Every structure is written in C-alpha cells, then in structure tokens.
A = this chain, B = another copy of it.
Amino acid sequence: MSNPTLNPTQPHRVVVIGGGFGGLYAAKAFAKSKNVDVTVIDKRNFHLFQPLLYQVATGTLSPADISSPLRSILCQQQNARVLMKEVVDIDASEQVVITSESMIPYDTLIVATGVSHHYFGNDQWKTAAPGLKTVEDALEIRRKIFMAFEAAEKEADLEKRKALLTFVIVGAGPTGVELAGAIADLAYNTLKQDFRTINTRETRVLLLEGLDRVLPPFTSDLSEKARAALTRRGVTVATSTRVTHIEAHAVTIQQGETTETIPAQTILWAAGVKASSMGSVLERRAEATLDRVGRVIVEPDLSLTNYPNIFVIGDLAHFNHHDGTPLPGVAPVAMQEGEYVAQLVQARLQHRATPNFIYRNVGSLAVIGQNDAVVDLGFVRFSGFIAWFVWIVAHIYYLIEFDNKLVVMVQWAWNYFTRKRGARLITGKSIEVLETPSVSELDKSPVKV
C-alpha cells in the first residue's frame, strides 16, 4: 500500500508512559507494526500483576511471582525499547516527554500511569493506614500483619493483646474484601498451630464500608452473598460506617449517631484512589479536563480534546461509556484500551478511520477466600466454588510469563491442600523493630534496608 506519510527512514515514534496493563498491552499491540518505534518509560523495571498483590501482602506469593521484567517481556519485540526513568513533565507543543535527565520526542504519546491511594483530604492517615499499590506497599503490609501476631505472642497485657490481634480494613471494594478474607484465613487456619501463648482464633478482622453493602460495583444479590461468605469466614463486616479519624493503632468510626474508637494495631486502607500526577501535568500542559479524583476525561477515541496525538488509558482515564458512568479501574479495561489505541495509531498512519472505543465487558470477579468468590459476567452471575475456580483460571491465564503461571499454581495448590503460606517472612526493617513489642512503639523505629 502506498502511503505518503510513511517515511521508511523516520519511523513513527510512539512513547508509552507506564508499564502496567494499559501501557504494556499498547506496546505489545505494535509488535507487528513496521515503521513504528515504541518506547516504554517506567520508573520501575517490571510489570506488576496488581490483582494478586494482596496475596503478597498476606504471605502467599512472592513479589517476583506476580512481576515480570519489562525488558524480558519486550526483548523479542525489535521495535520496542524500555527506559527506566521517571517522567517529570511533557511539552505537548514541542512533542517531548521530559525526564530529569533527558527529553524524549514523540509523534504519539500514550499516558498510562494509573492511580494511587486517595485519603479524601486526610493524607495524614497514610502512615497509620497504608494502602496497597506497589510491591513495597505489599511487603510493608506483610511485615505489619506478621509483626502484629509476633508482638501479641509476647504481650502479657490482655487489652494490648486484643488490640494487637485487631485488623481493620477500610473500604469493602474488591481489594478490601480480598484482604479481609485472606487475613481471616491466616488467623483462623494458617497460623492456628504456630503460637503457644496466643490463640490466633481470637483475632478480629473488621471490614468497614461507607456505603450500605460490600462490593458496591456488583449487583446487590452478589453483595449479599459476599457479605455472608465473609461473615462465615470470621470477618466482621460493618457497612454504612464512616471512618472519621485514624491515628496510629486506632480508628474512629461513625454509624448513624454513634461514634466509637477501636484500638487496632493494623489498619489497612482500601477505600479510594486518585489519579497519578501525570493527570495534572496533562491539565497544565495539554488542556486536559480532570474529574473529581484527577482522572483525565478523554474523547470517545481516548485522545485529548485538543491533542489528538495524546491518549490516556487505564485507571488514569475517565471514559464515559453508554450509561454515563466512567469505566471501572480494572485490568480488562486498561488492556482493551491499550490495544485499541495501538490499532487506532496504525490505522491513522494508513489514513484509515477507526470507530470509537467500546469496552467489551468481560465480567467482574472478586475473591473472598478459598472456594469462595463472586463472578458477574453480565449475562450470568454466580458465587461460591465455581466462581472461585473461574477466578483462579482467569488470573493464571493473564499472568504474563510462563514461569509465573507455574509458580503461582504450585503455591496455590500448596496453600489449598495445607492452608500454609510459605511467604510469610518479616523483612526489611532493622531488628530494633523486632525488639519493640508495645503497641505505641511499634512503628517509630528507624528504617534500615
């Protein structure tokens, strides 16, 4: 096909910022494009399979089991290169991405930098109630969870011991439900024979949710089933419950007119997300409009209104589907958006038109614990063992590298038959921390790597 815009000595330069599901699937979708050069910029050297991060935080999997080096994934794709850098700015008129050390020119820019935690204006809660987005977050939460049991084993004071064995999870979306289910399973199954002083079955796992049901994105009957399953597993579910204050080892909640402060060694945040800082960079530099949590409102083809060669995909994008609500921040949306943009760019290079992006709903899944999940495929909804099995197959399938699939299967099989979790190591902080058993002191020790 003759094409005047294609200059064989000057390939079309696509720059992708972010190697998550959106960015990676976009980059891979250019694999067979001649005359396209793809540069993936990420501050980390690996793609993280975030849907399984809670299993790192609760001691089932290792970080490497759910991570794949970006260079390894793209090493065979000759038109792709990886740069390990942090983007600090872009210049949309000059068409360059700016890092602290270099300028990277682009013809097409795909921004897929995702989201981070949102504390709804209470950023001071962050230390007391960490969230789960990175490998480091997961290892820190793992350390907190297992240190709480160790400290309880050494604590003579019964009130303090009760606080050490109280785990509060704020937010009953999929991550909150998964964390609560996994911690309950740890306490009531995995660890029940491990201690000599404490009875880990006295552990309290509290799941707090501001709305009136768990898993709000799901239908209300699935929410009910999830709530029943959580309760059966020992999780105390409190819906219509507002968190009004969090400090180190105490959370204050409001239910109707009643307020209560609950002493808890471990408080985890799974309540909200806000856009990564690239959202405001695009607002400042490319006239992007942001929504309430900083996500970029995109055109029906995922581009920016005045910059048709800049695309925003994945969790960072606010895309209005048929019904007016934005698409959820889940991996299938990001993957489809990435592939769509790659096709659109290739079509443009060949002066072909592309229809607007349409999300094909592949369903929603959330796991509650062993043998228990909820699945909504749109045309059919189910829960329990079959849902759990569907969840397992889907997650294994989408793990990128084959050794990850095998290792995760081995670990899950082992966990299934023995209820053991081999990855419950306490690592990363100095031993001074390990010597500090009192509730108030546990988080003040110096950090040593």
Contacts and interface: CB of A to CB of B under 8 A. Distances in A.
Contacts of A85: 154, 434-435
Interface string A42-72: 0111100000000000000011110111011
Given A64-B425, A406-B414, A426-B45, A72 B194 contact: yes
B434 A86 contact: yes
A93 interface: no
Contacts of A65: 62
Nearest to A195: B71
What is the copy number of this chain in the assembly? Answer: 2
A437 B69 contact: no
Nearest to A438: B101
Interface string A90-103: 00000000011110
Contacts of A62: 62-65, 423
Interface string A168-195: 0000000000000000000000010111
A88 B72 CA distance: 46
Contacts of A429: 449
A194 B75 contact: yes
Of A64, A72, A135, A434, chain B has the most CB atoms within 10 Å of the CB of A64
Contacts of A101: 154, 435, 437
A409 to B, nearest CB: 9
A117 to B, nearest CB: 16
A63 B425 contact: yes
Contact of A135 (B64, B81, B418, B427): B427
5 contacts: A62-B64, A72-B194, A75-B194, A136-B427, A403-B410
Given A84-B150, A135-B425, A401-B422, 7 more contacts: A45-B425, A64-B425, A67-B425, A84-B434, A85-B434, A100-B435, A136-B449
Interface of A: 43-46, 62-65, 67-69, 71-72, 75-76, 81-86, 99-102, 135-136, 139-140, 146, 150, 153-154, 191, 193-196, 401-404, 406-407, 410-411, 414, 418, 420, 422-429, 431, 434-435, 437, 447-449
